[in-house]
Amino acid sequence: MTSTWLADGWTVTWRNMLKFRRSPDYVVFAVLQPIMFVLLFSQVYGGSIRVDGTNYTDYLMAGIFGQTVLFGATFSGFGMAQDLKDGIIDRFRTLPMSPSAVLVGRTNADLALNTISMVIMILTGLVVGWRFRGTVVEFLGGVALLLLFSYSFSWVMALLGMLVRSPEVINNAAFMVLFPLTFISNAFVQTQNLPGPLEAFANWNPVSALVQAARELFGNVGDAPVPDVFPMQHSVAMVVVGSALLLVVFVPLAVARYSRTTGR
């Protein structure tokens, strides 16, 4: 049974990854936006933005990484909504396969796309002067933590994709939520420079915890002050626990929703 489930999951993963190979523009546009943000903030705005205790380019890159994996997770929702719209899910329903394999394949393929984006972002960061200051193990831990959060969040988006059933709707809904989460955070500016209510929101924003954890593991914190709130003081643990909770809650919900959808 386990071997069958793994085979089904791998088959659907490979099916989704073949779409990337056959539509390279899909991958290109997925990585162009974060590259644009790197160049925009580091080269255009970098001279005007000051952060205390560290170089702005080093400070910026963890925010760009966090933004990239967060937005990359939306592809799971878009892909599920598109497959429902195109009738692909109805074809899967006729096949003798595990219901969860479709979702596993979808999220695995998007994890692979996010990994590609991360590699390109790392290379872009090195070009503009970013350097990781920690050990290789800490660096790899930071990358793994970002991808773990992305993978867990992709299950949230996959569930949303089955609820709205329209790629256009999920794109609009996701960006309306993710843009404030990304920009009202410590991704691009230090939270102590924000007005009071926004500072409080940013310090408890899960995106801020993710970015802070990445900065710590990449050795990019420097002498920058860390807000004296629990998520910022224990950012790595917060991201690990939060990602685990997302998987525990949303994997069963997504599988149950898929079973109801294909059972109609």
Give the C-alpha separation, 186 to 208, whole Å. Answer: 5
What total of structural domains would you count in the chain? 1
Tokens 């290379």, residue located: 123
Per residue in 200-234, pLDDT (tens digit) is 999 999 999 999 999 999 999 888 888 999 999 99
For helices 56-72 and 136-164, the axis angle rounded to 10 degrees is: 40
Collect contacts of 41-48 with beta carbons under 8 A, ≥24 apart: 41/188, 42/128, 42/129, 43/128
**Residue 6 CB contacts under 8 Å (≥ 6 apart), including other chains:** none
pLDDT of residue 62: 92
Question: 35: burial class by Cβ within 10 Å (0-12, 13-18, 19+)?
Answer: middle
Q: pLDDT band at 1, cuts 50/70/90? A: very low
Better pLDDT: 39 or 44: 39
Give the C-alpha separation, 161 to 155, whole Å. Answer: 10
Per residue in 85-131, pLDDT (tens digit) is 777 666 666 666 777 788 888 888 888 888 888 888 898 889 888 98
Q: Can you tell me whether residue 190 is helix, strand or coil?
A: coil
Domain of residue 40 covers 2-262
Element housing 253 (H / E): helix 235-262
pLDDT of residue 10: 65
Query: What are the tokens at 87?
Result: 């009738």
Collect contacts of 47-55 with beta carbons under 8 A, ≥24 apart: 49/188, 49/189, 51/189, 51/190, 51/224, 52/190, 52/223, 52/224, 52/225, 53/221, 53/222, 53/223, 53/224, 53/225, 54/220, 54/221, 54/222, 54/223, 54/224, 55/129, 55/222
Give the mean pLDDT of 58-78. Answer: 87
Least confident of 28-32, 36-40, 52-56, 206-210: 28-32
Q: Closest by alpha carbon to 17, among 144, 108, 87, 146?
A: 108
CB 213 within 8 A of CB 241: no
**Residue 234 CB contacts under 8 Å (≥ 6 apart), including other chains:** none
Cα dist from 134 to 64, 140, 243, whole Å: 18, 10, 23
Alpha helices (H) in 128-227, listed in sequence order: 136-164, 167-183, 196-204, 206-218
CB 211 within 8 A of CB 66: yes
